[in-house]
Amino acid sequence: MTGHWASRPGIRNLTLGIMLALVLMVLASSVVNAHAATGQPKDQAKKYKGAGTTSNLRNIVIGRCYHYMSLYPGIGDKNCTDVWQELLDAVQRKDPCKVAEEDYKRLSLVAAQTIPCNKTLLWSRTNDLVHRYTKATEKFITLEDTFLGFVFNGLMWCGKPLRPGMNFKSCPAWNECDKNSISSFWKMASAAFARESCGVVNVMLNGSADGDIARKESILRTVEVPNMDPTRVSEVKVWVIDDIQGEDKNSCDSKTLLELKDYIEGHKLQYSCIDNYRPVQALQCADNPDHAACNRCNYQ
């Protein structure tokens, strides 16, 4: 015996048509809801100005974490999988322009590290020279030599609103929006580094750069100076280093340095300044041995 579906083709087609229409309505409404919730078509993520999440991010983060522990066993045991998971939890399912420093709180806890007194070296506009210097002497520690700085330096990452995982296509550039996944991370890491610093804190600045010696919106001014504890930091010692081949645009007695002095002292921190700190100039001289400034008799 055949059922009534087979015996009444007109009714069957009508019923199939109604069911198809219902299925299409349900599908259309879920797409509309997805648009409403994310502001984006479901399969068409927003395009940001920065590069997407670094390929193989998970492996790089976990690999660098183990590498750091092998270089600096004093840091103790870090759970590298936890470090990755905390990074992922801080950004996934979130709008990459709505990631706050506080979202990295748990990551900062698993990455916590003690910074020995008198070792901190902050910097502004001297990215290349400061890291050549710390590699050459190993006497100072920059943010990039700390656990968080080492593991995440040069990497890019962001999540996707309401969806798990990372966005490998594009992420917000540094200034594209206020609270983005990258700038908030570096602000959190810089604040933690400054808070942990004690004793004499050194700062390498570029005496040959145009304009303010440290930009008004620089991390040094906006994050690191305000987060130093005046009861634990005995002095902020600024080194103004000119490019050996460049102009001497700013020195300790320049207006921009005096203004920075006021700013630092305004945070109840002691200030001192030195022009062309000799150990750094010696490093510059390794590449420019014949330069007049490298003549031993000219050293201050």
Q: Which of residues 143-162 bind ligand APR (CB under 6 A)?
A: 143
From 134, 167, 170, 190, residue interacting with ligand APR (rule: CB under 6 A)? 190
From 127, 137, 245, 295, residue interacting with ligand APR (rule: CB under 6 A)? 127
Beta carbon of residue 289, minimum distance to ligand APR (angstroms, whole number): 28
Asked if 246 and 283 touch (Cβ cutoff 8 Å), the reply is: no
Residue 202 makes CB contacts below 8 A (sequence gap 6+) with 120, 121, 122, 140, 237, 238, 239
224 forms part of the interface with ligand APR (CB under 6 A): yes
219 forms part of the interface with ligand APR (CB under 6 A): yes
Least Cα distance to 219 among 174, 177, 275 occurs for 174
Taking CB under 6 A as the binding criterion, the range among 47-55, 56-64, 106-114, 121-129 that sits at the site for ligand APR is 121-129
Is the CB of 202 or the CB of 284 nearer to ligand APR?
Answer: 202
Taking CB under 6 A as the binding criterion, the range among 51-59, 118-126, 131-139, 252-260 that sits at the site for ligand APR is 118-126
One-letter amino acid identity for 289?
Answer: P
From 30, 33, 79, 175, residue interacting with ligand APR (rule: CB under 6 A)? 175
195 forms part of the interface with ligand APR (CB under 6 A): no
Sign of CA dihedral 196, 72, 158, 155: positive
170 forms part of the interface with ligand APR (CB under 6 A): no
Beta carbon of residue 124, minimum distance to ligand APR (angstroms, whole number): 4
From 92, 113, 124, 180, residue interacting with ligand APR (rule: CB under 6 A)? 124
123 forms part of the interface with ligand APR (CB under 6 A): yes
81 forms part of the interface with ligand APR (CB under 6 A): no
Round to whole Å and give the CA distance between 85 and 67. Answer: 18
Beta carbon of residue 200, minimum distance to ligand APR (angstroms, whole number): 15
Least Cα distance to 211 among 177, 260, 178 occurs for 260
Q: Which residue has the tokens 């996934």?
A: 92
Which residues does the annotation mark as catalytic? Answer: 117, 198
Beta carbon of residue 190, minimum distance to ligand APR (angstroms, whole number): 4
Least Cα distance to 124 among 237, 234, 236, 209 occurs for 209
Least Cα distance to 141 among 154, 130, 125 occurs for 130
Give the other-Cβ count within 10 Å of 196's Cβ.
18
Beta carbon of residue 36, minimum distance to ligand APR (angstroms, whole number): 33
Q: Where are the alpha helices (DSSP H) in the chain?
A: 4-7, 9-38, 57-71, 80-91, 105-110, 127-137, 147-152, 181-196, 219, 225-227, 255-266, 278-287
From 45, 166, 220, 273, residue interacting with ligand APR (rule: CB under 6 A)? 220
Beta carbon of residue 230, minimum distance to ligand APR (angstroms, whole number): 18
Round to whole Å and give the CA distance between 217 and 21. Answer: 56
Contact positions vs ligand APR (CB under 6 A)? 122-125, 127, 143, 174-175, 186, 190, 193, 214-215, 218-220, 224
